[in-house]
Amino acid sequence: MKPIKMLGLAALAALMAMAFVGASSAMAEETALCMEEPPECVALEHVHETSVGKAKLLSEPTVECDVLFLGDTVSGTSKPLHINGTFTYTNCNNSCSVEEVNGPALIKVLKTATELSSVTGEGLVKLTCFFGFIKCAYNGEGLEGHGLGALKSDAKTAPNGSVIITCQETKIESGTCPKEAFLDITTTPLLPTYIVSKSGALWLCQKGTTGAELYKDEKCLEDTGNGNYKKVMLP
């Protein structure tokens, strides 16, 4: 059994703790996530995503839960970009509970085209239903999330961007699981998120520890000369 070291960004598990097989690094670009449209933007350090409606594990029974992911980008990674974080599952039906096992999750994001990405990784999620009558673990081997930036995502349901998995088959790791289960989930970031090439003009905006602090706001956009933030350019 592989521990979750993945976005992650599961069988209700797979986006939720994702064990994906995605595009090869040779096909993808050095990747970053930004808070504004390119060419110049502030690189995201914190990634917060929530499910659009309920995430569904289509099986017997069908399990539906709300999903939240909280993560941080890993400095020095870009092909793919790594994000370490945690998935939580709430408001599940059929007296079910879902929990991430061996976290935190490690999610990998590869830019494949303008505002598009492949979301991959490894993961394991434990499912318990009907007061323990069904108790098993799923991994997301073979699953791949389709990432869209804010410029290409559905403007009505996910205007900030999205990662989509549609009816992909999951794998049973252990326990008394139904023989077949298919994951159907869309997540969206809480803030507008753009998928960009790291080769652009990217920086982090961090609180300063020296005398170089010039910016008042946490996006390093307001240059006041006496702020608490500074730009740290990405290599």
pLDDT at 226 over 60: yes
How does pLDDT run across 202-225, given as a tens digit for each residue? 667 777 766 667 777 777 777 666
How does pLDDT run across 73-92, given as a tens digit for each residue? 998 888 899 999 888 999 99
- The partner residues of 86 in beta bridges, in order of sequence, read 70
How does pLDDT run across 177-188, given as a tens digit for each residue? 777 788 899 999
Give the number of other Cβ atoms within 10 Å of residue 50's Cβ. Answer: 15
Whole-model pTM: value is: 0.76
pLDDT at 23 over 70: no
Cα–Cα distances in Å, from 14 out to 52, 121, 211?
15, 9, 45
Q: DSSP 3-state assignment of 193?
A: coil
CA pair distance 189, 208, nearest whole angstrom: 27
How does pLDDT run across 44-68, given as a tens digit for each residue? 888 999 999 999 988 878 899 999 9
Predicted pLDDT at 175: 78
CA pair distance 181, 56, nearest whole angstrom: 10
